[in-house]
Amino acid sequence: MLTDGKLKIQNMKSIVFYRVSEPYGEFSNFSPHPIKLKGLTWPTSEHYFQAQKFVGTEHEEAVRLAKSPMLAARMGRSRQRPLRPDWEAVKENLMRETLRAKFTQHAKLKSLLLSTATAELIEHTTNDKYWGDGGDGSGKNRLGRLLMELRDELRKEGP
């Protein structure tokens, strides 16, 4: 923000998250919060998101049935399964859909997200420069940004 030609630094709190067992671990797609989408129950948001890479194939259901979110993630990242051709074009909207389901189907999660007020949400990991911050802030932090976007939408929608 510029004020009288000088940069005014806003004191915005940041919340970093990554591991399910740590503070704000509920924001991780690995958190044990089942979601209902497409007429099915998905064990975690990670299961749903990864399965959408193979929508309409037997691999979609295989990922849904994975024993853990880590296994679902590995299955989704494996290029031994045929990635849908439009993945890059649809992945952000699929993540939006996934997050909206998770945070509207679990009232405590919605409250937690709204309780972060205006804090910057950062998925802090060296493992991911797209969804996370890359560990050093050089990543895109798309998961954190989409959570902040959802938080704003939920706030506008009211209780």
Report domain extents, the chain.
Answer: 2-157
pLDDT computed for residue 1 by the predictor: 35
- Give dist(CA 124, CA 24) in Å, integer: 12
pLDDT computed for residue 5 by the predictor: 43
Per-residue pLDDT tens, the chain, 159 aa: give them: 333 444 333 445 999 999 999 999 999 999 999 999 999 999 999 999 999 999 999 999 999 999 999 999 999 999 899 999 999 999 999 999 999 999 999 999 999 999 999 999 999 999 999 999 999 999 999 999 999 999 999 999 987
pLDDT computed for residue 158 by the predictor: 82
Cβ atoms of 48 and 54 within 8 Å: the answer is no
pLDDT computed for residue 3 by the predictor: 39
Query: Is 109 exposed, middle or buried, given 0-12, 13-18 or 19+ CB atoms closer than 10 A?
Result: middle
Strand blocks (E) in 34-147: 35-37, 40-42, 120-123
Output the pTM of the full model: 0.90
Q: What is the CATH number of domain 2-157?
A: 1.10.357.40
Axis-axis angle for helices 142-157, 107-115 (nearest 10) = 100
- Give dist(CA 71, CA 38) in Å, integer: 21
Dihedrals phi, psi of 98, to nearest 5 degrees: -60, -50
